[in-house]
Structure 1
């Protein structure tokens, strides 16, 4: 009786197959426990036989997605003193990054969505604040002092 790999002989003997079945016996699950095979590390140089070096091309992250996220965070932290400009840029770059990451050739879809959310949540109040500052300064300059 032959086994597919040397050293995997069962610990108890299996009954022989009847000769009536022909050269191809039916496949069944083994009934005996297998003895452990001692680990033998590869002693040669390079890769073991049958193994080859895998070359994986890295997926590049979209720069616009990263910029959208960074500008969205800047808009949250200090966009009020920059008149909402980082939030507007985060929205614009976020939409461009979504288009760039749609086909899966570049990663960063989540960063683009996060930049869009941060930009849209804070672009409205920043624009309102900018309009109020502008009209407040115009009204203050147009009103005569007593």
Structure 2
């Protein structure tokens, strides 16, 4: 993506942070307890600073794979917004948090998202014969409203804006 395209997307963008605390929990019928169910992030990017306690997992080839924490390292998640803006050249990753039965877990997350009136179509330079347009144009407000109104599963959030196959 050209810098001009990125500047337009990030013009008046929003950012917020959260401190995530997952207390210990040893009661579970399945042998694991969710601190946060499987989800993708409705953001451009999410930067996560975890502590050294395992718990983050990503979905890879239909299996949940633990992400080994590396001290003092940021984890960067591509959000749904960047997937749409990049015409699927970057993919939003399904992830979850499992509560540790012996040790509490902390993380700090920073979320970056566009302003409500940002047009969410990918820049023209990302559309070509090998990469046809996948999503129709929409605003972030339309995306966010659709996400909450229809209570779409995470994997289907962007599908609401997909161009139908001919």
The TM-score bracket by the shorter chain reads under 0.3
Relative contact order, CA 8 A, sep 6+: which one is greater? Answer: 2
When Rg is computed on C-alpha atoms for both structures, the one with the higher figure is: 1
Between structures 1 and 2, the one with greater helix share: 1
Between structures 1 and 2, the one with greater strand share: 2
